[in-house]
Amino acid sequence: MFISQALAQTMENAAGAGEASAGEAFLLNMLLIGILVILFYMLMIRPQQKRMRSHQEMLSHLGKGSKVVTQGGLVGTIDKIMSDTELLIKVGDVKLLVLRSSIMSTYDEALPAEKQDAELAKKTADEMDETEKKASARPKGKKAPAKKTAAKKAATKKTTKK
């Protein structure tokens, strides 16, 4: 009986030493929640605020003659600024009254990839011109020798008679 009492006491001491108090558990949970809030702010809220700030700055710099793209995809030129919230844009022969908030971007910002494509097309056209000049500079009397190709024999099917 003496051994079982000693064993029971050591079990109680071991169980009591490993447990965290209620205050410590609460602090750990609050620390975890605080870290998640900071992470959420850094990954979600802050980038969206930067995008909104740059869009507001772009809208404030719009003026007569600026080429813009609306959220509906219309590309036009600002003809007149009616008020702080309304613009009159000219799309071809049609004039439209749109809200300033419906302007998605300026036309120059919307198409940077097309500018790069145009530059690439120009470079390739210049390279093609150079290769044509080199080809025309060759003497016309001599031609490059033709490549020799070896003909392959047709596969024959072997049949065995029974």
**Is there a domain that residue 122 lies in?**
yes
Q: Work out how many domains the chain is built from and give that number.
A: 1
Cα–Cα distance, 119 to 117 (Å, whole number): 5
Does the reported pTM lie above 0.75? Answer: no
**Each residue's pLDDT expressed in tens, for the chain with a length of 162 residues:** 567 776 667 766 655 555 668 888 899 999 999 999 999 999 999 999 999 999 999 998 889 999 999 999 999 999 999 998 999 999 999 999 999 999 999 887 665 566 666 666 777 777 766 666 666 665 555 666 666 666 666 666 777 766
**CATH code at position 86:** 2.30.30
**Is there a domain that residue 85 lies in?**
yes
pLDDT at 51: 93
**Would you state the structure tokens that stand for residue 116, as one six-digit string?**
């790069």
- Rg (C-alpha) for the chain, rounded Å, is 39
**Is there a domain that residue 35 lies in?**
no
Query: How many other C-beta atoms lie within 10 A of the C-beta of residue 88?
Result: 15
**Is there a domain that residue 161 lies in?**
no
**Is there a domain that residue 37 lies in?**
no
pLDDT at 13: 63
**Is there a domain that residue 68 lies in?**
yes
Structural domain containing residue 100: 62-132
pLDDT at 124: 72
- Residues above pLDDT 90, as percent of the chain: 42
**Is there a domain that residue 16 lies in?**
no
pLDDT at 160: 72
**Can you say how many angstroms the Cα of residue 70 is from the centroid of all Cα atoms in its chain?**
20
**Is there a domain that residue 95 lies in?**
yes
